Structure 1
Amino acid sequence: MNKKIGFIGCGNMGKAILGGILNSKKIAKEDILVSTRSEKSKNDIEKEFAVKTTLDNKEVARNSNILFLAIKPNIFKSVLSDIKEEISKETIIISIAAGISMNDMEEWLENNYKIIRTMPNTPALVGEAISAICPNKNIKEDELEEICNIFNMFGKCEILEEKYFHGFIALCGSSPAYVFMFIEAMADAAVKLGIPRNKAYKMAEQAVLGSAKLALETGKHPGELKDMVCSPAGTTIEAVTELENGGFRSTIIKALEKCAEKSQRM
């Protein structure tokens, strides 16, 4: 890809995307420029990723064909106002900020810029993100394909209407936290049953990874896969019954609803 990619801001999610892109080895480090707010964060990014960095957001805006805005929602408007005169009309602007709508960005930029709103998740760091992508009307079909190719460098992506983003944030943007809690709880139970802690974590992590891969690769309904494990009067159905008694599914549903409601209020 013969494009210059810029990052304004590089927090946890920005680092996940940057790391995922670099790990794909499809884009040269020399074609990436990152701006940060402090000298310390600038030095940290240089040390961790060996890419060019700056404290000047305008420099990144001027020199990027594809511009990631990986900044907090509360400073989004002021940063856009500061850099908008530096951005070419051919530059593709990609936002990963929760709570910042396409309408917000178009209003703050004032003119017809190419904008894509996205929501990735942190498994980008290991090439297994799932990202939602929503383009505005100025994005051409080949440009959208190009952006999808970038996101596929560190996982999978889905084109999604913006009205579904709150649900996507609850389902995918925040879900790594739920899964990590599940892994931790499984490992705690294993330790209680006598399995050493370091082994318990590895085994729980592989069990979750393998189960997800089985669902993805077979295409079978999760309920069908669950039933395959649950032998009549067996051990697994005992565990499943206890989970149901504890409100396992309803708690997950309520948690995702709360997450989506918070996203709507932001």
Structure 2
Amino acid sequence: MNVGFIGTGSMGSLLIGAFITSGALKPSQIAASNRTIAKVECLADLYPGLRVEASNVEAAKGKDIVFLCIKPHEFRSVLSDIRASLRPEQLVVSITSPVMLSQLEDWLPCKTAKMIPSITNHVGSGATLCMYGSRVSAEDQQRLEALLRHISEPIRIDEQYTRIVSDLSSCGPAFFAYFIQQFVDAAVRETGIRRSDALAVASAMLLGTGRLLTEGGMTPEHIQERVAVPGGITAKALESLEIDCDGMFNRLIRTTHDKYKEDAGKVASSLYGEEVNGQ
């Protein structure tokens, strides 16, 4: 399998590294391009054999799968750049959530898909959300998911739920890392415990809680019931959390959805023009 990457920023480089270190791909099976060529050259130094391409066209030409790891505002330029060099049998996979499958199919002559990775894929964990265009066959789906299975659990979703599932899967690590940070910093301020010790304990706790929710078959409600003895310390603290967090996650979801709609509108305007987008 030959794979192309257009864009080697934070997520593009993470995916390349994860595929290589997991054994899913050899460096020689990957070609990559980026607006800043030095970023690709650094990856090639890290993974000898990875091919540095000077143009997006070369990164896409003849590849079985082409990953588009670019920002929403870059799509018109990149799609215009590569469309003439693509063939019907190729599969182009966007990792950018506000870009719709229908838009990719309008602009490209090949098979198209969308996937939403997560930073947890860096350690071969978490989910990768998969959505497929109308030209993608069952065999194509299986081939992509077999590749993704080396670094994650591929989960097929309906495109209409892209944003909320991305909140849970891709944004979730940042949200919960923020809570751990706040928890640890409060522990340091209130008690004087060394931050490194508090972080080690909290990190192990988060890992164990995740295993209870997956391997242990427990629900969030079940964990709370098992830990919080009526009238005890944990129960008292949970009462405080219920007050302080009231409506917080609803506001968080509304915030991400508002930003998603804004970005999706900008993509549509870029690809089709203000008049089409405004209809």
1:116 counterpart residue number? 113
1:253 counterpart residue number? 250
| TM-score, normalising length: structure 2 | 0.89
2:276 counterpart residue number? none
1:157 aligned residue (154, 161, 170): 154
Compute the displacement of 1:37 (Å). 1.2
Give the CA RMSD over aligned residues. Answer: 1.4
Deviation track 1:50-84 (CA, whole Å, cap 9, x = no partner) reads: 32212211111113111101111101121111111
Q: Is 1:120–1:132's contact at 8 Å kept on the other side of the alignment?
A: yes
Please say if 1:132 is aligned against 2:129.
Answer: yes
2:262 aligned residue (254, 261, 265): 265
Secondary structure at the residue paired with 1:218?
Answer: coil
Secondary structure at the residue paired with 2:181?
Answer: helix
Equivalent-residue separation in structure 1 for 2:89 and 2:149 (angstroms) = 22
2:182 aligned residue (181, 185, 210): 185
Runs of at least 5 residues in structure 1 that lack an aligned partner in the other structure: none
Counterpart of 1:195, as a letter, is I
Deviation track 1:75-108 (CA, whole Å, cap 9, x = no partner) reads: 1121111111111211111000121101111122
Runs of at least 5 residues in structure 2 that lack an aligned partner in the other structure: 264-279
1:141 counterpart residue number? 138
Compute the displacement of 1:229 (Å). 0.5
2:170 counterpart residue number? 173
Q: Is 2:40–2:52's contact at 8 Å kept on the other side of the alignment?
A: yes
Equivalent-residue separation in structure 2 for 1:171 and 1:9 (angstroms) = 24
Equivalent-residue separation in structure 1 for 2:251 and 2:58 (angstroms) = 44
Compute the displacement of 1:219 (Å). 2.3
Quick one: percent identity of the two aligned structures?
26
Q: Is 2:148–2:154's contact at 8 Å kept on the other side of the alignment?
A: yes
Compute the displacement of 1:171 (Å). 2.0
The within-5 A match list for 1:1-266 is 3-50=1-48, 51-109=50-108, 111=109, 113-192=110-189, 193-247=191-245, 250-266=247-263
Secondary structure at the residue paired with 2:149?
Answer: helix
Secondary structure at the residue paired with 1:158?
Answer: strand
Counterpart of 2:88, as a letter, is K
Q: Is 1:94–1:115's contact at 8 Å kept on the other side of the alignment?
A: yes
Q: Is 1:169–1:263's contact at 8 Å kept on the other side of the alignment?
A: no
| TM-score, normalising length: structure 1 | 0.93
Equivalent-residue separation in structure 2 for 1:16 and 1:122 (angstroms) = 8
Q: Is 1:42–1:55's contact at 8 Å kept on the other side of the alignment?
A: no
Equivalent-residue separation in structure 2 for 1:184 and 1:47 (angstroms) = 34
Equivalent-residue separation in structure 2 for 1:229 and 1:30 (angstroms) = 50
Compute the displacement of 1:149 (Å). 1.4
Once the two structures are overlaid, the 10-residue window that deviates more, 169-178 or 154-163, is 169-178
Aligned residues: 261
